[in-house]
């Protein structure tokens, strides 16, 4: 199929781009998208895997199937026309015009075959710029060494330094501050706030006076739950109070919390979930979800059924539950929760048997509807934007979702994402304009003085 060149470019996609965003092809408007045959082979071999990688591969296959459906009369090797003036091609692994460098690369490695396929396309289509798109820095470096232009896939990337924090600061008169507590204050025109964003206000005429208000979409209002506790837990700093406010408010259906280790994300979310489900009966159950992505070397397959396999991954929830059960320095258990000789594991097991607590991984989420549930998604920075969307679309009637995680690169073990392209930051930025959502960044470490030292000094 002959195409007018114009400003068209050839974008050759690496396998990891399809795994990161199975619908990525739709984002190359007005260009040629070329998939080397080896990429399809890799996707095909990965689609039977468990976990996030297999899920993404299966979704990529479904996306490709929908694109080629009804286009049997067109040759995909020559290119089939898609929406947005995109031409999709499958490139055979032909290295006939790059034989001079094949001795330098091991052709048993798929990356090298993709690299040589790209170089072959570049030499063949001299009038059209050819660009290799890959999320693998080593792959991009090798390509650049052979004179191939490269790009990272950045369609869904968010600059971490610019990530929405959920709060801002301002200076107002004491008279306006008083109006906040009387009937609410219309948001000053100089401030551009999102719904459920917090505002730390300092009084112009009284430097010692400061308050925190929340923008409800129309006006600044005082905090509703400032003096409340959840399951015996009291927020320890201003940021935790903001997070607590959002999680305790049932009208806010999605809350995201980001922050470093020890900032209180998990224990705050767990405390509010227990308060809402067991004490207030606002929801029927707690669903605790976590991606199964190991930090460091994987220990291999774990024995037992689904619940037994998940137990090691749910350690953060068990730890938070145990810390909430035992209150104060005297380590006395909460009287309404457990006897002195009852283990935390036994209590959680009883709550699971009663249907009050459910623990899941993303692998089993497709097709489910989570109704009347308080859902905590831990380590959400390990998800891709596609998986994050999949999880959000599980929301049924009267459900609240809380996504928590640390989106910095040193806390991400999933090779498909980084600090700027993971599902957590994707949701924070895409959903911040809705009155159904709220976000707070927790920056203070409250776990212990030693944890605070480690977070800041190491």
The pLDDT assigned to 349 comes to 87
What's the rounded Cα separation, in Å, for the pair 347 and 338? 7
Whole-number pLDDT of residue 340: 53
pLDDT higher than threshold 80 for residue 94 = no
Dihedral sign (CA 376, 377, 379, 381): negative
| Cβ-based neighbour number of residue 281 at 10 Å | 8
Residue 228 pLDDT level (bands cut at 50, 70, 90): very high
Looking at the chain, which residues constitute the CATH 3.40.50.300 domain(s)? Answer: 230-294+306-457
Instruction: Quote the Cα angle for 324-326-332, to 5°.
Output: 155
pLDDT tens column, 73-91: 788 888 999 999 999 999 9
> What percent of the residues of the chain are helix, what percent strand, and what percent coil, each to the nearest 5?
40, 20, 45
Q: 230-294+306-457 has which CATH code?
A: 3.40.50.300
Query: Using one digit for the tens of pLDDT, what is the confidence trace for 36-46?
Result: 999 999 999 99
Q: How open is the CA angle 161-162-168, to the nearest 5 degrees?
A: 110
Q: What is each CA distance from 224 to 112, 170, 256, 434, in whole angstroms?
A: 59, 20, 19, 20
Q: What's the pTM value of the predicted model, to 2 decimals?
A: 0.75
pLDDT, tens digit (0-9, with 9 covering 90-100), for 139-186: 999 999 989 999 999 876 766 677 899 999 999 999 999 999 999 999
Give the three-state DSSP class for 375: strand
Give ranges for CATH 3.40.50.1010 in the chain.
10-151
The region that residue 21 occupies, defined by phi over 0 for left and psi between -120 and 50 for alpha, beta otherwise, is beta
Q: What is the DSSP letter of 164?
A: -
Count Cα neighbours of 356 within 13 Å in the Cβ-side half-sphere: 15
Q: Reduce the DSSP state of residue 387 to 3 states and report it.
A: helix
Inform me whether the pLDDT recorded for 9 exceeds 70.
yes
CB of 440 closer than 8 Å to CB of 254: no
Q: Do residues 287 and 361 make contact, with C-beta atoms less than 8 angstroms apart?
A: no
* CATH number given to 10-151: 3.40.50.1010
Please, which pLDDT band fits residue 296 given cuts at 50, 70 and 90? Answer: very low
Average pLDDT over residues 288-305: 55
| DSSP helix/strand/coil, 61 | helix
């Amino acid at each position: 199929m002959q195409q007018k060149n114009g400003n068209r470019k050839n974008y050759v996609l690496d396998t990891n781009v399809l795994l990161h965003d199975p619908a990525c092809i739709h984002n190359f408007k007005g260009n040629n998208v070329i998939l080397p045959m080896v990429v399809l082979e890799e996707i095909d071999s990965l689609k039977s895997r468990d976990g996030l990688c297999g899920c993404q591969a299966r979704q990529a296959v479904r996306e490709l199937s929908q694109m080629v459906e009804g286009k049997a009369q067109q040759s995909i090797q020559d290119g089939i026309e898609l929406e947005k003036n995109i031409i999709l091609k499958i490139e055979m692994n032909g290295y006939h015009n790059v034989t001079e460098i094949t001795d330098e690369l091991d052709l048993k490695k798929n990356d090298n075959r993709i690299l040589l396929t790209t170089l072959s396309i570049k030499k063949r289509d001299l009038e059209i710029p050819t660009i290799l798109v890959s999320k693998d820095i080593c792959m991009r470096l090798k390509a650049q060494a052979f004179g191939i232009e490269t790009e990272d896939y950045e369609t869904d990337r968010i600059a971490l330094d610019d990530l929405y924090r959920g709060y801002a600061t301002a200076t107002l008169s004491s008279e306006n501050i008083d109006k906040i507590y009387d009937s609410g204050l219309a948001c000053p025109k100089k401030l551009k706030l999102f719904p459920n964003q917090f505002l730390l206000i300092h009084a112009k005429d009284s430097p010692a006076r400061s308050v925190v208000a929340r923008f409800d979409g129309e006006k600044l209002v005082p905090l509703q739950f400032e003096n409340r506790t959840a399951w015996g837990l009291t927020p320890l700093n201003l940021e935790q109070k903001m997070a607590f406010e959002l999680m305790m408010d049932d009208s806010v259906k999605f809350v995201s919390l980001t922050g470093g280790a020890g900032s209180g994300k998990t224990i705050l979310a767990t405390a509010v979930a227990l308060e809402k489900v067991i004490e207030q009966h606002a929801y029927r159950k707690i669903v605790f979800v976590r991606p199964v992505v190991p930090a460091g070397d994987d220990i291999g397959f774990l024995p037992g059924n689904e619940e037994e396999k998940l137990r090691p991954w749910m350690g953060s929830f068990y730890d938070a539950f145990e810390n909430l059960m035992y209150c104060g320095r005297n380590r006395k258990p909460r009287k309404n929760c457990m006897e002195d000789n009852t283990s935390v594991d036994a209590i959680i097991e009883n709550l699971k048997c009663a249907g009050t607590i459910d623990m899941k991984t993303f692998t089993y989420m497709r097709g489910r509807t989570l109704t009347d549930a308080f859902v905590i998604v831990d380590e959400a920075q390990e998800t891709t934007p596609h998986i994050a969307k999949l999880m959000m679309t599980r929301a049924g009637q009267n459900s609240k979702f809380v996504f928590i995680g640390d989106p910095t690169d040193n806390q991400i073990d999933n090779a498909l994402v980084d600090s700027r392209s993971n599902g957590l930051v994707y949701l924070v930025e895409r959903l911040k304009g809705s009155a159904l959502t709220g976000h707070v960044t927790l920056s203070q470490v409250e776990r212990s003085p030693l944890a605070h030292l480690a977070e800041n000094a190491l």
